[in-house]
Amino acid sequence: MRKLLCLFMVFGIILTMLVGCGAKSKDADSDELTPVSSLTMGQDEADGLKDKTPVQLYFINEQGTKLAAETRYIQNTDAGKGNEHMATAVLKELISGPAKGSLLKASIPKETKVTTNVKIKDGVATVDLSKDFIEKHPGGKKNEQLSLYSIVNTLTEIKDITSVQFRINGKVTKEFKGSYQIDIAYSRDTHLISSEPGKDSTIKTITEDKDNTGDKTAQPTKENETKKSSSDTKTNADLDDDILE
């Protein structure tokens, strides 16, 4: 009788141990199958951009000779309010300057304000800026050219905008800083966009590339007109090497 009782006790102990090991194994399997987070960091970042629209902003390249693109994201709520609202938001982003740590250089004086929202009519976007755009600008023919075209090439990325007309405090102003007229509409000029490998953004622009016709309407001031030949319509000859800081 005593032997039988001992056998029952031993059997009970073994059964208890087996059940405990099985439970631990099941818990371990459960831990392995349940991730800490169902989203990776990359997915988190991607989700953060779902409500934003990419735009191409053109700043001055590292060498100070051409324009280079930087991709920026604006809220879909801004993009969905029409091209005029989007153009205004993009212009403000351009004035804010390149991203922190970027080798690109600001193309517009940081004190510049958008005095009136961008208006679009018959493909022409009218940009109204504060007088700081002129007064705080360092000048120099090259700088003037890159500043003007940073705005023109950026805004003509937007659908239905083919050229840009400038206003200063709501008024037509004849000259920028002495080298370029700004009382006329400026067309897109892709010749000023740098194509050096590794220097430009490789992200495709949000609209189809406009035609590469260059600048058909922009003219230097009368002071510089005598320097042009009848066959040379480019406005980037004899440019200064000054760079916007």
User: Quick check: 203 pLDDT over 60?
Assistant: no
Gap between the Cα atoms of 91 and 79, Å rounded: 13
User: Quick check: 44 pLDDT over 80?
Assistant: no
User: Is the Cβ–Cβ distance between 35 and 46 less than 8 Å?
Assistant: no
From the list 49, 38, 88, the residue with the least C-alpha distance to 72 is 49
Widest CA span in the chain: 126
Least confident range from 48-52, 128-132, 196-200: namely: 196-200
Q: pLDDT value at position 58?
A: 98
Q: Is the pTM of this model over 0.95?
A: no
From the list 192, 172, 194, the residue with the least C-alpha distance to 183 is 172
Q: pLDDT value at position 196?
A: 56
Q: pLDDT value at position 68?
A: 97
pLDDT over 70, % of the chain: 60
- Work out the mean pLDDT of the chain and round it to a whole number: 75
Between 242 and 94, the higher pLDDT residue: 94
Q: pLDDT value at position 193?
A: 96
* Per-domain boundaries in the chain: 47-225
